[in-house]
């Protein structure tokens, strides 16, 4: 009995050591963030275990947990909420009830989740979109594009483009009394990737040029070329989003082949012939000095992965590798980045590149922020940081849309 108790105690200690990640000192509500981070790591560990024994895939386990947080389309005294579809794509509409003499602005929101997880119906997204609609008097569209690995690249992007083009039809804008000159596309994390790529493609399409007034991106991950940027190294264990989990999920957008995430972990995934693209993501040139710190730039290793993935050279996967002529047509832009986020440097480099080509950019950098904080604004997992990010995002929309 004593031996079993000792073994159990040691197992608990090893488990605690495995899931424990030191929380940066400047983060608000550190104890609560520590608990949330441990919960995410436990869920991830269970997903890996379930996958190894053939019970279910890791992403299926995550999605099972997320389904517990899906909300119904419940209207309130300020906003009518409707679940409908644009073509075959499910959308949730938020329609302000208060009467306005003039036409309304509109926001099309694309949710995050590494192209694999999530829905616009999760409680935090529902809260953010509902509050946006009420605060701005805006029509808000939450889009549920199809997800990988069942639907891999470019399905998520194509669905997002379809939703935006559907909404931009004259009869749809008239139906919801939307001002066609006051439309924004926004998104968080991978939704930010979709938002900026949709915006860029439409701005460079003569039929839709200048129909999008603004884009708003919350901690977007904008490239898969270099997975060893300073932010990847500094925040590889999180909080919340670890480098390993991000690689595991994002690689499913392209393939189920486990060789790709394995190569990405070593930064040896890029195909031969891709070196000319590194200038667009070279952090040693494009990052401000304060974020370089003592890190030494090492170019990703080419040609190690067989078969190779030419899709990694596609700017629809990595918007940061779009050339300057493609970026210069982008509209008014809002980008929010977080210090303790593996994707921090993607957003900061994007700010640098957009400003260089003359795009008007507002950049909010949250020194005590981390990836996914916007998802923690509902009880019992609410964080003051999540509310601050939501406030900054909605305030910018209110001032600029």
pLDDT of residue 4: 58
Compute the distance between CA of residue 342 and CA of residue 229 in angstroms, rounded to an integer. Answer: 8
Q: Reply yes or no on whether the pLDDT at 8 is more than 90.
A: no
Please, are residues 277 and 321 in contact by the beta-carbon 8 Å criterion? yes
pLDDT tens string 64-94: 999 999 999 999 999 999 999 999 999 999 9
Please, are residues 171 and 128 in contact by the beta-carbon 8 Å criterion? no
- Residue 205 C-beta-side C-alpha neighbours within 13 Å: 12
Instruction: Give strand pairing partners of 143.
Output: 91, 110
- Sign of dihedral through CA atoms 119, 121, 125, 131? positive
Q: What is the mean pLDDT of residues 208-215?
A: 95
Please, are residues 379 and 247 in contact by the beta-carbon 8 Å criterion? no
Percent over 70 (pLDDT), the chain? 95
Pairing of strands 89-96, 79-86: antiparallel
Percent over 90 (pLDDT), the chain? 91
pLDDT of residue 19: 55
Compute the distance between CA of residue 342 and CA of residue 171 in angstroms, rounded to an integer. Answer: 42
- Sign of dihedral through CA atoms 207, 213, 216, 222? positive
Q: Reply yes or no on whether the pLDDT at 21 is more than 90.
A: no
Residues belonging to the active site:
189, 341, 371
Mean pLDDT for the chain?
93
- Give the alpha-carbon dihedral of 80, 81, 83, 84, to 10 degrees: 40
pLDDT of residue 13: 45
pLDDT tens string 252-288: 999 999 999 999 999 999 999 999 999 999 999 999 9
Contacts of 268 (CB under 8 A, 6+ apart): 300, 301, 304, 305
List, in sequence order, every beta strand (DSSP E) within 332-394.
332-340, 361-370
Q: Reply yes or no on whether the pLDDT at 12 is more than 70.
A: no
Confidence of residue 10 (pLDDT cuts 50, 70, 90): very low
Between CA 333 and CA 342, with CA 337 as vertex, the angle to 5 degrees is 135
Q: Reply yes or no on whether the pLDDT at 95 is more than 90.
A: yes
Confidence of residue 117 (pLDDT cuts 50, 70, 90): very high
pLDDT tens string 168-192: 999 999 999 999 999 999 999 999 9
């Amino acid at each position: 009995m004593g031996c079993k108790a000792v073994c159990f105690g040691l197992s608990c200690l090893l488990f605690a050591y495995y899931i424990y990640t030191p929380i940066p000192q400047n983060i608000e509500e550190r104890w609560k963030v520590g608990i949330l981070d441990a919960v995410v790591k436990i869920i991830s560990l269970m997903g890996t275990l379930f996958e190894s024994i053939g019970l279910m895939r890791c992403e299926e386990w995550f999605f099972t947990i997320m389904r517990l947080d899906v909300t119904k389309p419940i209207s309130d005294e300020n906003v009518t909420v409707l679940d409908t579809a644009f073509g075959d794509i499910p959308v949730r509409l938020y329609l302000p009830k208060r009467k306005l003499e003039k036409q309304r602005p509109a926001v099309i929101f694309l949710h995050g989740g590494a192209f694999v997880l999530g829905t616009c119906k999760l409680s935090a997204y529902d809260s953010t979109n509902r509050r946006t609609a009420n605060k701005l008097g805006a029509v808000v569209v939450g889009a549920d594009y199809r997800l990988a690995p069942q639907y891999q690249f470019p399905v998520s992007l194509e669905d997002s483009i379809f939703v935006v083009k559907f909404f931009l039809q004259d009869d749809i804008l008239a139906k919801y009394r939307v001002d066609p000159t006051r439309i924004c596309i926004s998104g968080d994390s991978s939704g930010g990737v979709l938002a900026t790529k949709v915006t860029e493609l439409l701005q460079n399409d003569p039929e839709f040029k200048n129909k999008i007034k603004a884009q708003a991106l919350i901690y977007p991950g904008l490239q898969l070329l270099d997975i060893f940027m300073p932010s990847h190294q500094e925040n590889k264990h999180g909080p919340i989003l670890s480098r390993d989990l991000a690689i595991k999920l994002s690689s499913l957008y392209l393939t189920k082949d486990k060789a790709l995430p394995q190569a990405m972990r070593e930064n040896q995934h890029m195909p031969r012939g891709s070196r000319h693209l590194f200038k667009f993501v070279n952090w040693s040139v494009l990052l401000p000095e304060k974020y370089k710190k003592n890190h030494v730039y090492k170019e990703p290793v080419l040609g190690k992965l067989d078969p190779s993935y030419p899709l990694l050279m596609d700017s629809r996967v990595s918007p940061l590798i779009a050339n300057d002529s493609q970026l210069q047509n982008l509209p008014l832009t809002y980008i929010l980045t977080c210090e303790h986020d593996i994707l921090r440097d993607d957003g900061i480099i994007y700010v640098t590149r957009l400003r260089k080509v003359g795009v008007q950019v507002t950049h909010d950098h949250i020194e005590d922020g981390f990836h996914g904080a916007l998802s923690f604004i509902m009880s019992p997992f609410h964080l003051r940081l999540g509310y601050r990010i939501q406030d900054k995002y909605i305030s910018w929309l209110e001032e600029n849309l």
